[in-house]
C-alpha cells in the first residue's frame, strides 16, 4: 500500500472500531504512520555454553512488567553466581528459575489476552464471566505481583470461568 492508502485504511479501521467518523473528517498525517509488532517472545532456558540472557533478550513481556522482570533476572542471576564457584551450575539454575517465573507471568498475561483480545465465541464467554470481576477490582495484579501471581487451575477458573 502507498502511504495515503495506509492512512485511508487506518481511518477506516478506526471508524469500524468506534471512532466517530466526523472526528477524522479533514484529518491529515503529521508524521509517519507506523507501528511495531507487540508479540511476546522468549527464550527457553536462557543459558547456553557460557552465555546468559537477561531482560528483554531472555523474554519480552507485554503488560508493563519488562523492567521489573529485567531487575529480577539480574538479582536471581547474581545471587546464583555469588552462591557457588561453579558458574555453569549457577547459570543453569538461573535459567531454570527464569523458565519458572517467566512461565507464570506468561500464563497470567495469556489470561488477560483472552479477556481483552479473543474475538471468538469462547472469548465472549470468558468476558461475560471475567469483566464483572475486573469491574469489582478482582483482577490479577500483573504489574505489582507479576510472576508471583497464583496461576494454578483454580485461579484460572475463578477468573476466566474455564
Ligand X SMILES: Cc1cc2nc3c(=O)[nH]c(=O)nc-3n(C[C@H](O)[C@H](O)[C@H](O)COP(=O)(O)OP(=O)(O)OC[C@H]3O[C@@H](n4cnc5c(N)ncnc54)[C@H](O)[C@@H]3O)c2cc1C
Site residues (CB under 6 A) for ligand X?
A: 55-57, 64-68, 70
Distance of alpha carbon 128 from alpha carbon 124, whole angstroms: 6
- Asked whether 40 and 82 are in contact (CB, 8 A), the reply is no
Compare residues 65 and 115 and give the one whose CB is closer to ligand X: 65
Burial 84-118 (b: 16+ CB within 10 A, else e): eeeeeebbebbbebbbebbebbbbbbebbebbeee
In the complex, minimum distance from the CB of residue 87 to ligand X, in angstroms, rounded to a whole number: 21
In the complex, minimum distance from the CB of residue 120 to ligand X, in angstroms, rounded to a whole number: 28
In the complex, minimum distance from the CB of residue 66 to ligand X, in angstroms, rounded to a whole number: 2
Compare residues 126 and 142 and give the one whose CB is closer to ligand X: 142
Distance of alpha carbon 92 from alpha carbon 157, whole angstroms: 33
Rounded to the nearest 10°, the torsion over CA 16, 22, 26, 32 is -40
Compare residues 64 and 144 and give the one whose CB is closer to ligand X: 64
In the complex, minimum distance from the CB of residue 107 to ligand X, in angstroms, rounded to a whole number: 18
Amino acid at each position: 500500500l502507498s502511504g495515503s492508502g495506509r492512512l485511508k485504511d487506518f481511518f477506516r479501521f478506526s471508524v469500524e472500531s468506534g471512532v466517530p467518523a466526523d472526528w477524522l473528517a479533514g484529518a491529515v498525517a503529521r508524521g509517519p504512520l507506523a507501528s511495531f509488532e507487540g508479540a511476546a517472545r522468549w527464550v527457553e532456558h536462557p543459558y547456553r555454553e557460557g552465555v546468559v540472557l537477561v531482560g528483554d533478550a531472555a523474554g519480552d513481556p507485554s503488560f508493563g512488567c519488562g523492567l521489573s522482570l529485567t531487575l529480577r533476572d539480574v538479582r536471581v542471576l547474581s545471587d546464583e553466581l555469588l552462591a557457588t564457584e561453579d558458574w555453569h551450575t549457577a547459570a543453569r539454575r538461573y535459567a531454570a528459575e527464569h523458565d519458572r517465573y517467566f512461565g507464570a507471568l506468561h500464563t497470567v498475561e495469556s489470561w488477560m489476552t483472552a479477556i481483552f483480545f479473543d474475538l471468538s465465541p469462547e472469548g465472549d464467554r470468558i468476558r461475560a464471566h471475567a469483566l464483572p470481576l475486573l469491574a469489582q477490582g478482582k483482577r490479577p495484579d500483573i504489574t505489582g505481583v507479576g510472576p508471583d501471581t497464583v496461576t494454578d487451575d483454580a485461579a484460572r477458573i475463578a477468573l476466566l470461568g474455564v
